[in-house]
Amino acid sequence: MKKKKLLITGIIIVLISSGFSTIQNKDLEIVKNLDIYFTLFRELNMFYVDETDPEELVTTSINAMLSSLDPYTTYIPEASMDDFQFQTTGEYGGIGSLIRRSGTHTIIAEPYEGFPAAKSGLRAGDVLLEIDGKPTDGLAIETISDMLKGKPGTELRILIERYGEDEPIKFTLTREKISISNVPYYGTLNDGKTGYIRISNFTSGAGKEVEIAFRDLKSEQQIESLILDLRSNPGGLLIEAVRICNLFVDKGLLIVNTKGRVKQWDSEYVTQKSPLDKEIPIVVLVNRASASAAEIVAGALQDLDRAVIVGQRTFGKGLVQTSRPLKYNAQLKVTTAKYYIPSGRCIQALDYTHRNEDGSVGFIPDSLISEYKTRNGRMVYDGGGIQPDFEIIPELIGEITIQLYTQNLIFDYATRYAAMHPEIGSPDGFSLSDEDYLDFQNFVETRGFSYQTETEQIYNELVTTAKKEKYYQVAEEAFLKLEEKLMHDNLQDLETFRPEIQELLQEEIVNRFYYQAGRVQAQIQNDIQLDKATELLQNPQQVEEILNGQIGALAIERTEAI
């Protein structure tokens, strides 16, 4: 027995010693490499041929180091802390407006309803000339944004140039605490029995906002079914996703748990309250841009067989970030864990752990994708977003529509239209007339609009290569005939793609009069994914059979607009 005890004691000592040795070796490696970095940095600053900016060098090296991990692990210097706080809380001190570049100018892109910019009369399309007497010409948009922000209660003076006005206009605004709503619009559809809630973000308070919207729809509108629209929602706070799920599922259910390398940080997030309604039929709308917390809501409600998912496979972000304080008021946002929804699956799509030889990141291979089961036994899968129960793929928009949007012609025409029309019809009923669309075509022509299709780009590359290799002269006639068939015509394309171009125009114009809520109402007028959701909810028994696994399995239907 004594020999046995001595042997066990010896093994333990060896294991502990080797553990200490490993820790010491790792610490030595860290110290060694930090010393190398310090000496390299010192030598670079002393002897480099040109003057260097130490802060810029350090920031560049930090960002390069973090980019080798994943895109969500980022360094946040003190100067960017306001933007970081806005991403998590949805709050900042300012005038309540988006700004963006238009040519060489910075313009008001979208005022938020109820905040200083909108209340003072600033409009989308207004060109910022001066802020507190300082000309904005030549300033970076980040600098202008910082000038507009500030402590609530403080004043600022703005000089703008407005379409249709001969002279610049002065405004005096008082900054306020700006809190951007996570629910820009909610209401009823069709016969008034289907509720609709658009959730655009998951900043602080999202769960409460959804609760208020749902209570109003249920008590005042007497809805019998519900659509949660999470399309193009980039996510945000994990806890807000849990709170939204809790509105519709029992208390004490696991919604998500996180697992990382530091085990004491592993957490389980369980519903804490009794639900508002655990019976109402629900459809959740998602698309390729639904990510993170939006995927937790969609995935958890799918795993718990509480909602039918309609739309497209989601983005596939299954990573959790934690903020860690650094010196000088900077922070590190670091990926600390992966999250797992109730079935046990992680929906992370990209494998940052195993990079390709060129440094690129690939999707998790099909061979590593596993099957899981929902509470009622339906099959679901990990490894790449939330697969909807009904996959509805919207029609791809044409190149001319993309170019009209990116070249600001849709935005600029909306500015012109709003200046010439003091009011329009309701957001869900507004439509451009034939005369309006002809006016838009003339506007596009006067702006010298031009673009190149991908087909034309490939054709031009082919011609260049053919001339280089001296084949063009041999088949010049064939090339010219092909060019005639392939080259687009602006006026013809404006007619061919009129439905999608007109939809974007109407959304932008409605936004000028009815702000964010109006834009959402305009967006959902011709929406095949929403149409499928309402169709399903008109047959509650079918929804119940789907969730019980009585009708097929996952991906019951795939519809593609043509």
Q: Catalytic site residues?
A: 292, 303, 317
φ and ψ of 153, to 5 deg = 100, -15
Cβ atoms of 294 and 522 closer than 8 Å: no
Calpha distance 171→139 (Å, rounded): 20
DSSP per residue, 238-303: HHHHHHHHHTTS-TT-EEEEEEESSGGG-EEEE--S--S-SSS-EEEEE-TT--THHHHHHHHHHH
Cβ atoms within 10 Å of 465's Cβ, excluding its own: 11
Cβ atoms of 182 and 206 closer than 8 Å: yes
| Of 213, 265, 256, 253, nearest in space to 235 by CA | 256
Positive or negative CA dihedral for 28, 30, 36, 41? negative
Calpha distance 340→337 (Å, rounded): 10
Q: Which two tokens stand for residue 34?
A: 């930090």
Calpha distance 285→308 (Å, rounded): 9
Cα 172 vs. chain centroid, distance in angstroms?
A: 33
Burial class (CB in 10 A: 0-12, 13-18, 19+), 270: middle
Cβ atoms within 10 Å of 162's Cβ, excluding its own: 18
- Radius of gyration over every alpha carbon of the chain, rounded to an integer in angstroms: 28
Calpha distance 298→250 (Å, rounded): 16
Calpha distance 65→68 (Å, rounded): 6
Calpha distance 30→24 (Å, rounded): 10
Through-space distance between the first and last CA atoms of the chain, rounded to whole angstroms? 81
Question: Which residues are CB-neighbours of 454 under 8 A, at least 6 positions away?
Answer: 399
